[in-house]
Structure 1
Amino acid sequence: MAIQINLENKVAVVTGATRGIGKAIAIGLAEAGADIALIQRSTDITVQEEIKGLGRNCEIIECDLSDLKRVREVIPEVKKKMESVDILINCAGIQRRYPAVDFPEHEWDAVIDVNLKSVWILCQEAGKIMTTQQRGKIINVASLVSFQGGILVPAYTAAKGAVGQLTKELANEWSSLGVNVNALVPGYFATEMNTALINDPERSKQILDRIPAGRWGDPNDMKGAAVFLASSLADYIHGHLLAVDGGWLAR
């Protein structure tokens, strides 16, 4: 029997899907048949219209992920509107760059709230539904700094390191209940978050020279890994951090 991925009749909740990696993942899931709930701050309907053009249902749930009280309401709202929550993709994130000795406390708090605490809340709320129905896929988006230290990004490194460990902890608790919790680890991708690195000729060259694939990642490179982890093909994969990095970690 041929191996096929079919996400029809599944509802996927995706944060950070207005651009970059999140957008590519949301479209990839829709291409595989899933209906999509976009969690976004803006009312921009560009991605929604693209997904609807694929013949899938797509709802926008407005939420600023720094508003943690509002974050707590998101998953129940999706369940009410779309009648199911089968897949959760935590992709949204923010970045702040300062030397560690000068890192402002309010910026630290902002990064931790969006990149870690909102992820925890969304996982917890989705977990309440998924463990009850005994099925579901949670895919967090971690980072190379889940493994490495980074430079000038102590808050981001702390948050993404914690996302990796949170992924493993939730997998330990929920695997036997039919819920897969895994993480994607993007390498260096040509996205808005990496604009400062891309525009720094010296740093950009250092990065490119270390990537065995010889290029920066394109957001579409994330589609296959995300759709795989969201599908039944990954039913026996739990607590794994899957690097999509052009071979960076192999060097």
Structure 2
Amino acid sequence: MPPRRRTRFDQDQYEMLRRCSEAMDFAEWNGWYAEDLAKTQYLRSTDSYGAHLAGADLAYWYLEGADLRYAQLQGADLSYSYLKRANLANANLSGTNLWRAFLGGAELSGANPDAAVYDGAGKIKYDADQASLLRSAAESGNIALWNDWYQKELSKDGNDIRMYGAHLEEASLRNLDLSGAVLCYAHLEGSDLRHVKLYGANLLHVHLEGADLWQADLCDADLRHAELGGANLAGAKKDRALF
């Protein structure tokens, strides 16, 4: 029996995917990939078919709508990646880290997500200084301290706020008064927001996947386009909140 062909990592493919991720535009990748798959159909029965991204560092990448059919993603780090409506049909996810990855609307037919791992000990961009600034502003009753700083960060030339936002993943913010806080695009995945007051807060496009919002006050908050997959909203006040 001939030896099983090993999956290889392709640096050129990786760089193209990175370029499209940073541009938040997958027209180049999807066009090239569909053509490449058509040309290499004869390889479908081997481990060489599809994108060669085994072991790749894809943590926090923006991959919405990316065509990753048949991709070899064994052992890749996709923690906190944004895979909304991505096509992962028949992708090999054995050992892939999908911790806090957002897979809303993703196509997973023929893939093996049960063989993935969900390891919270992987890469995390949590910024203790940002968390400290937010907490100090809340505890001083002057949330404008945070808002003024954050709005300057969001408006920096050359940056796309959808690509970063504040990194407050897994943060413990329980019982804080964050009424009127600007937290649009912030990463709050898995954060402890129990009893937090977010009255009138700007939560546009915020990442709240897996966050605990038990009995939080979300009245008048703007949650349009927020990602709430797996969030606990039990007992939360949501009067006049926008979703």
TM-score bracket relative to the smaller structure = under 0.3
Greater relative contact order, per chain length (Cα 8 Å cut-off, separation 6+) = 1
More helix by share: 1
Q: Which has the higher strand share?
A: 1
For normalisation by structure 2, the TM-score amounts to 0.27
- Which has the higher Rg, Structure 1 or Structure 2? 2
